[in-house]
Amino acid sequence: MVPLNWYIILSAVMFSIGMFGFLSRRNLVIMFICLELMLNAVNVSLVAFSHYLQSINGQILVFFVITVAAAEAAIGLAIIIAYYKNNPTIKVDEINILKG
Amino acid sequence: MDLPITITLMDIRAIVPELTLICVGLIIMLLDLVVKKKDLVALAGIAGTVLALFGTYKLYGVTDTQFVFSNMFVLDGYANFFKVIFYINLILTICISIKYMEIEKSSFGEYYALLLFATSGMMIMASAADLIVLYLGLELMALSTYILTGLMRKQPRSNEAAIKYFFLGAFSSAFLLYGISLTYGMTGTTNIKEIAFAISTLGIADNPIMYLGLIFMIVAFSFKVALAPFHMWAPDVYEGAPTSITAFMSVGPKAAGFAVMGRILMGAFGDMQAQWVTVLIPLAVLTMATGSIIALSQTNIKRMLAYSSIAHAGYILLGIIAGTPEGLTASVNYLMIYTFMNIGAFAIVIMLRSKGFQGENLDDYKGLAKSHPVAAALMLIFMFSLAGIPPTAGFIGKFYVFMELIGSGYTPLAIIAIIFSAISAFFYLRIVVYMYMKDAEQEIVLTQSPTMNIALAVTSVMVLVLGIFPSFLLYFVRYSIMGY
């Protein structure tokens, strides 16, 4: 059996990759994918903990996270499209009307 | 594994206010298809809120602390008081937005439905006794607010604000989830009470993983309530969003974030107080400094009020740092006062917006006292209150927070807070100077409507009454938090 530690390390690495991607990438869609990666990293650790602790709560939370992530994707992409209609760019650096 | 799920009538009864808001929200979306005049939709929203308020009032009388849905949802004075803040916020927001959304040509029925959904999300957050419910409430609130921010979809400003809010909000949710996951892994439960129990019985208050989980959660809540250095989104989003939504989210999500912070930090992580206080103190100082100092250089009033709301988040945090029930009382008291004065200030900002005139620059306020003495006088009251000058309510709010802070032995922190409070008086009073001592550069037309006048009357009267007779509200807060 794979020990719990490995899962937790995997989850931490996935979360870090997602976070790094979110902070360093400049394309909105790629940033969005990185967000999903972070959420899924959390799901990995929740399932691992849930199995290890023999408690169902973690897995229930995972289902909710997946559901909310889907809703979030719908809203996020809708917002990106609404922006794109007015300003044809999805580069973060060019989204800079508001500043000061 | 056999998991019997029983939902009793008691469970359903406890969530009647939330259900009311969601049902009215759905009805509004249907009504929107047949009703041409959106005023009626807005009135339906107000009626639904009043109904939910009545439900909370009924539940308030019968319950002390009641756990329902298998200890997932709690009904206590603390939650109920926050719900009252959310209702007031919702009603006032609807009142100030009817005319405004018409001028912005974004008068959709969904606007009011989403306001109701966001508010029900906040209510679920305030009542959450389990981290799962907390997460769901937070997302319901956040997702609705993202859409509301980007509702003026023909305006690039609004689009941009929505993008910034969405990305940083979703980013902070991931942090919250990671914190929840670590806490769950260490304690084996997601229930707030059981987490506190596990921390004390397992003796893991010093565990670094536990500490990491706690910090991740604090980071996530700091994003939500806009504490520096996690405040970067706030000024941009507040400026770009429809002004009525700026008013709504400078109060609602902030109050919900603090409700959750109070419950999680004092409830679940009560044994780790030494750890979270050391994290929160630098955050509070940095927040007050950023809010007060950067606001000095703003020329757009919405941006200025955004920085002001960041500074206020710092003051509210001080009550939680005090770490006592009295400190929490002071914070909640401050939040209630802040609701009235902040929405009042935004109401005046909205009044200046008329067809073809943005009215968001500080220069637009020059000479307002000559052309519109009543509006100027009201703005004066709100600015005095935000600055914390007696006899307005803002002074009382700050006074109690600082008093509790000193009572808990954080005198240097209280002195720092008072210094920043004095600095922030400059930019509030600058508006007063502009209104009363400068000559108008152009003709200002105020957009008036009956609901707007009601909202202004309520907020200004409450700011003055709570400033002169503070004991009534304080007694009410104390009574609510007693069972907590």
Instruction: Read off the CATH number of the domain in which A69 is found.
Output: 1.10.287.3510
Contact B334, B322 (CB under 8 A): no
Residue B393 tokens read as 């309510």
- Contacts (Cβ under 8 Å, ≥6 apart) of B224: B138, B142, B169, B172, B253, B254, B256, B257
Strand pairing report for B65-68 and B73-76: antiparallel
Residue B73 sits at φ, ψ, to 5 deg, of: -135, 135
Q: How many domains does chain B have?
A: 1
DSSP string, B357-379: B---BGGGGTTHHHH-HHHHHHH
> Do A80 and B163 count as a contact with CB atoms less than 8 A apart?
yes
List, in sequence order, every residue forming a beta bridge with A91; answer none if it has no partner. Answer: A27
> Do B298 and A61 count as a contact with CB atoms less than 8 A apart?
no
User: Which residue out of A44, A51, A75, A99 would a mutagenesis test of the B interface target, given it has the greatest number of B Cβ atoms within 10 Å?
Assistant: A75
Domain assignment of residue A9, given as a range? 4-94
* Contact map slice: B 300-319 vs A, CB within 8 A: 300, 303
C-alpha dihedral over B306, B307, B312, B317, to 10 degrees?
110
Query: CA B218 to CA B172: how far, in whole Å?
Result: 10
- Contacts (Cβ under 8 Å, ≥6 apart) of A22: A31, A34, A35, A38, B167, B171
Query: CA B72 to CA A60: how far, in whole Å?
Result: 13
Contacts of A64 in chain B (CB under 8 A): 132, 135-136
Domain assignment of residue B17, given as a range? 9-482
Whole-number pLDDT of residue B484: 61
Report which secondary-structure segment, H or E, holds A62.
helix A57-86
Contact B312, B297 (CB under 8 A): no
pLDDT string in tens for chain B (484-residue length)? 456 678 888 888 889 999 999 999 999 999 999 988 888 999 999 999 999 999 988 887 655 788 888 889 998 889 999 999 999 999 999 999 999 988 888 878 899 999 999 999 999 999 999 999 999 999 999 999 999 999 998 899 999 999 999 999 999 999 999 999 999 999 999 999 999 999 999 988 889 999 999 999 999 999 999 998 999 999 999 999 999 999 999 999 999 999 999 999 988 998 899 999 999 999 999 999 999 999 999 999 999 999 999 999 999 999 999 988 899 999 999 999 999 999 999 999 999 998 888 888 888 999 899 999 999 999 999 999 999 998 899 999 999 999 999 999 999 999 999 999 999 999 999 999 999 998 888 888 888 899 999 999 999 999 999 999 988 888 888 888 876 6
> How far does A2 lie from chain B, in Å, by closest CA?
17
Number of DSSP helices (H) and strands (E) in chain B, helices first = 20, 2
Residue B428 sits at φ, ψ, to 5 deg, of: -70, -45
A74 inside 8 A of chain B by CB: no
B171 inside 8 A of chain A by CB: yes
CA B313 to centroid of chain Cα atoms: 9
Question: Tokens 């009033």 identify what position?
Answer: B301
What distance separates the 2 farthest-apart alpha carbons in chain A? 55
> Do A95 and B160 count as a contact with CB atoms less than 8 A apart?
yes
B3 inside 8 A of chain A by CB: yes
B450 inside 8 A of chain A by CB: no
Residue B3 lies in a domain: no
Query: CA B126 to CA B128: how far, in whole Å?
Result: 6
Distances (CA, A) of B151 to B91, B163, B168, B240: 19, 12, 18, 10
Whole-number pLDDT of residue B149: 94
Whole-number pLDDT of residue B259: 95
Residue B229 lies in a domain: yes
Partner residue facing B156 (CB), from A31, A61, A97: A97
> How far does B297 lie from chain A, in Å, by closest CA?
9
Report which secondary-structure segment, H or E, holds B65.
strand B65-68
Q: How many domains does chain A have?
A: 1
> How far does A39 lie from chain B, in Å, by closest CA?
6
Closest CA to A76 of A25, A10, A29: A29
What pLDDT digit, counting tens, does each position of A33-78 carry? Answer: 999 999 999 999 999 999 999 999 999 999 999 999 999 999 999 9
> Do B236 and A71 count as a contact with CB atoms less than 8 A apart?
no
Closest CA to B395 of B421, B430, B374, B414: B421
Question: Tokens 């909710």 identify what position?
Answer: A64
A5 inside 8 A of chain B by CB: no
Residue A100 lies in a domain: no
For B173, name the nearest residue in chain A, comparing CA atoms only. Answer: A39
List, in sequence order, every residue forming a beta bridge with B68; answer none if it has no partner. Answer: B73
> Do A97 and B174 count as a contact with CB atoms less than 8 A apart?
no
Question: Tokens 């609602």 identify what position?
Answer: B252
- For B312, half-sphere exposure in the C-beta direction (CA atoms, 13 angstrom radius) is 31
For B145, name the nearest residue in chain A, comparing CA atoms only. Answer: A75
Closest CA to A60 of B69, B425, B319: B69
Query: CA A22 to CA A39: how far, in whole Å?
Result: 12
* Contact map slice: B 356-415 vs A, CB within 8 A: none
List, in sequence order, every residue forming a beta bridge with B300; answer none if it has no partner. Answer: B361
Whole-number pLDDT of residue B61: 62
Residue B335 lies in a domain: yes
A7 inside 8 A of chain B by CB: no
> Do A82 and B240 count as a contact with CB atoms less than 8 A apart?
no
- Number of Cβ atoms within 10 Å of the Cβ of B206: 11
Query: CA B199 to CA B189: how far, in whole Å?
Result: 11
A58 inside 8 A of chain B by CB: yes
Residue A74 lies in a domain: yes
Q: The whole model's pTM is what?
A: 0.95
Report which secondary-structure segment, H or E, holds B38.
helix B38-62
Residue B144 lies in a domain: yes
